[in-house]
């Protein structure tokens, strides 16, 4: 279904896992809209990589935590590149702290960005997907949503919520040719995890951190025609850490 007239929207696509996903989808033939909040240069570099791959691309600024952003992002992507028939909910934040001292704002801000924004975007793109009888929704979760992690009650709740929401959406729209799945990474080598990678890599049975490209390859599969019967699933990418 990636015939150049259909668009994939990747939130948080200016760097790290999001940028790798945008490049993967472009290599697979999708036109890719790259959403970013602050990193305009990173988004421009990602779009440059998309264009070098021979695909169409554009960068769209917007904070997904703001309620109007979902409509604005999708409308801008459709105006530039065509119907959004693949959505990757990748944008996310964390604000760590122990549950006994975590403020309401710290809890709600993480939920708003990581979970509520993903719901708003999913709801918005489903309009065209239902009419097209085709769509791919992939949300980037975390193994923390499966096992918890000290100091991350808000982050764990948001990622566990993504899994439950995705399963429900999958059941609701499967008969219309739409799939919704989660990719749950473990330790991935990004700028955010760089200070911890060497220390934590020893805990991973694979004895290394994963790469953003390895996560992106899983997203590419779930967006492809080959994954048309994979629906409501959570694909763990963690080097056997949770095995």
Better-predicted residue by pLDDT, 2 or 95: 95
In a 10 Å sphere around its CB, with 0-12 CB exposed, 13-18 middle and 19+ buried, how is residue 93 labelled?
Answer: middle
The pLDDT value given to residue 2:
45
Please write the tens of the pLDDT for every residue from 195-241: 665 677 889 999 999 999 999 999 999 999 999 999 999 999 999 99
Q: For 53, left (φ over 0), alpha (ψ -120 to 50), or beta?
A: alpha
Single pTM value for the model? 0.95
The pLDDT value given to residue 40:
97
Boundaries of every domain in the chain: 7-233
Which fold, 7-233?
A: Rossmann fold (3.40.50)
Please write the tens of the pLDDT for every residue from 95-140: 999 999 999 999 999 999 999 999 999 999 999 999 999 999 999 9
184 by DSSP, 3-state: which? strand
The pLDDT value given to residue 79:
97
Instruction: Categorize the per-residue pLDDT at 66 as very low, low, confident or very high, splitting at 50, 70 and 90.
Output: very high
Instruction: Categorize the per-residue pLDDT at 190 as very low, low, confident or very high, splitting at 50, 70 and 90.
Output: confident
Range 197-202, long-range pairs (CB < 8 A, 24+ positions): none
User: Which residue in this structure is represented by tokens 């911890």?
Assistant: 196
Average pLDDT, the chain: 95
The pLDDT value given to residue 201:
82
Distance CA 2, CA 133 (A): 14
Catalytic residue among 12, 65, 155, 188: 155
Strands 57-61 and 178-185: unpaired
Better-predicted residue by pLDDT, 128 or 190: 128
Mean pLDDT of 67-88: 98
Mean pLDDT of 83-106: 97
The pLDDT value given to residue 202:
83
Percentage of the chain exceeding pLDDT 70: 95
Identify whether 155 is a catalytic site residue.
Answer: yes
Distance CA 161, CA 21 (A): 22
Tokens coding 173: 């729209």
Contact 8, 25 (CB under 8 A): yes
Distance CA 224, CA 97 (A): 38
């Amino acid at each position: 279904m990636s015939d150049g007239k259909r668009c994939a929207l990747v939130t948080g696509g200016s760097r790290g896992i999001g940028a790798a996903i945008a490049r993967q989808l472009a290599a697979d033939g999708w036109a890719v809209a790259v959403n970013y909040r602050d990193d305009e240069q990173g988004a421009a570099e990602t779009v440059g990589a998309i264009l070098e791959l021979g695909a169409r691309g554009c960068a769209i600024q917007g904070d997904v935590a703001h309620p109007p952003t979902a409509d604005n992002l999708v409308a801008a992507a459709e105006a530039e590149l065509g119907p959004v028939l693949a959505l990757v909910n990748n944008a996310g934040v964390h604000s760590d702290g122990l549950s006994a001292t975590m403020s309401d704002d710290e809890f709600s801000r993480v939920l708003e960005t990581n979970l509520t924004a993903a719901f708003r975007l999913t709801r918005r793109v489903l309009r065209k997907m239902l009419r097209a009888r085709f769509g791919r929704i992939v949300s980037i979760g975390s193994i923390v949503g499966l096992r918890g992690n000290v100091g991350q009650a808000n982050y764990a709740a948001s990622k566990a919520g993504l899994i439950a929401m995705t399963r429900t959406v999958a059941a609701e729209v499967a008969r219309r040719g739409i799939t919704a799945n989660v990719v749950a990474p473990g330790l991935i080598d990004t700028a955010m995890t760089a200070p911890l990678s060497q220390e934590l890599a020893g805990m991973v049975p694979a004895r290394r951190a994963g790469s953003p490209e390895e996560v992106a390859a899983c997203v590419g599969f779930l967006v492809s025609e080959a994954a048309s019967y994979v629906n409501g699933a959570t694909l763990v990418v963690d080097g056997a850490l949770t095995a």
